[in-house]
Amino acid sequence: MAEIRVATVADAAAIQAIYAPIVEQTAISFEVVAPTSAEIAQRISKTLELYPWLVWCDEQAVVQGYAYASQHRTRAAYQWSVDTTVYVAHTAQRQGVGRALYQQLLAILRGLGYYSAYAGITLPNAKSVGLHEALGFTPVGVYRQAGFKHERWHDVGWWQYQLQTGDQTPADPRKFGVS
């Protein structure tokens, strides 16, 4: 049975296998050199100190997708906002993996006390825009010529998901705290 669970450093090689072709063959990620499995393991470990990182595993327990949150900006007033990321293996796309990962990630973020989740999408990317908008993300703007990769400039669109609203002074968001 397929499952979504918290990522571990042991998932680094599987995550690297999903991410490397995206880095190397597309402008979806603005990294230009694919990180090693060891670098991915460090990222997972560091992320899980504060934010959730989830993986979707198929019936054979093979990681087919992942999603995580990260700091939106460093200034203190931004502490209730996070950036979100989701990647799905090419062979598992259009099967609900990204949607399932995002639904669980957003629920966890809401429970931790975050108010806004943001997603930056290299344009054009109809699949990612469609996923985000189907989940309730709304477009908030475009950074023109934000990155240069594969011999051309790329715009980045930004989408926002309102996790919760309120006019009261919010409590500080809680750390995810898994390592």
pLDDT tens for 39-97 read: 999 999 999 999 999 999 999 999 999 999 999 999 999 999 999 999 999 998 888 99
Mention every residue, 6+ apart, whose C-beta is less than 8 A from residue 158. Answer: 118, 119, 120, 121, 139, 140, 141, 142, 143
Residue 155 domain-assigned?
yes
**Which domain, by its residues, includes 105?**
3-162
The more confidently predicted of residues 21 and 168 is: 21
CATH number at residue 74: 3.40.630.30
pLDDT reported for residue 178: 61
Q: What is the mean pLDDT of the segment spanning 162-175?
A: 93
Residue 177 domain-assigned?
no
Q: How many domains does the chain have?
A: 1
Residue 135 domain-assigned?
yes
